[in-house]
Structure 1
Amino acid sequence: MGPVQYWILLTLTLASYALQLYAFVDALRRPAHAFRSERKLSKPIWLAILLAAAGVGIVGFPGFLSLIVAVAAIVYLADVRPRLEPYSARRGGRGGGQGGGPGRRPSSGGW
């Protein structure tokens, strides 16, 4: 492998690892009830998946395997995180006058 290919793979590997860590920290900050309310895997399961992916990513460093395990972080960030956003304390969460009673998803307005 040439030096240019090595640096490209190293850059992609580091970006993949950063993405995995970002997804893990984001999942840590979300309330557990939000995962249940949105009928997603539980918070501990997502944390385990993301931590395992980050662990494999760092052990396989630098390599193609570290890019493959980024799929877990991508799925979390693309599918789960947007569904959990209304439950964030920064946006008023469930107690900020949005939404309804227990177990109901906060309203984001619209039609």
Structure 2
Amino acid sequence: MLFPIPPLDLSLLDVWVMFLAYYAGLITGVFAFAHALSQRADAFTAAERLTKPAWLGITGGGTFALLLFSLAGPGLMFWLAGLVAVLVYLVDVRPRLIEVQRGPRW
């Protein structure tokens, strides 16, 4: 459920924050999925992380949850779970993949 653009009114600042958070999370999810898709499969094993198909499923499912659920109501729990899944990839797995593929630094 996509958020509609709220009207420009200072009293709706909380709506604007939720609007920006929703789309920032969605962009983050798409970036994480695209990054996982573009990496070599053997880099995941070399980095001692889950396999590439597992991370594609995690980031793809997280991005789907970010797209499907909104920040209002009971869907917030699933939206947050999707965001956490995507952020775990970006904070933990992505730096390790980059380090493994770059090689040892002198």
Query: Contact (CA 8 Å) 1:31, 1:87: kept in 2 or not?
Result: no
Unaligned runs of 5+ in 1: 94-105
**Aligned residue for 1:79?**
92
**TM-score of the two chains, using structure 2 as the length reference:** 0.77
Q: RMSD over aligned Cα, in angstroms?
A: 1.8
Unaligned runs of 5+ in 2: 1-10
The one of 3, 7, 11 aligned to 2:20:
11
Matched, 1:52 2:61: yes
Deviation by residue 1:70-107 (Cα, 9 ceiling, x = unmatched): 1111111111111111455xxxx5xxxxxxxxxxxx21
Matched, 1:107 2:104: yes
CA distance in structure 2 between the partners assigned to 1:39 and 1:72 by the alignment:
18
Give the percent of matched residue pairs that are identical in Structure 1 and Structure 2: 29
Query: Contact (CA 8 Å) 2:32, 2:89: kept in 1 or not?
Result: yes
Deviation by residue 1:8-55 (Cα, 9 ceiling, x = unmatched): 111101101111111110111110000011110000000001111111
Query: Contact (CA 8 Å) 1:13, 1:67: kept in 2 or not?
Result: no
**TM-score of the two chains, using structure 1 as the length reference:** 0.73
Q: How many residues align?
A: 92
Following superposition, the deviation at residue 62 of structure 1 comes to 4.3
Structure with the largest fraction of helix: 2
CA distance in structure 2 between the partners assigned to 1:68 and 1:40 by the alignment:
20
Matched, 1:69 2:82: yes
Matched, 1:39 2:48: yes
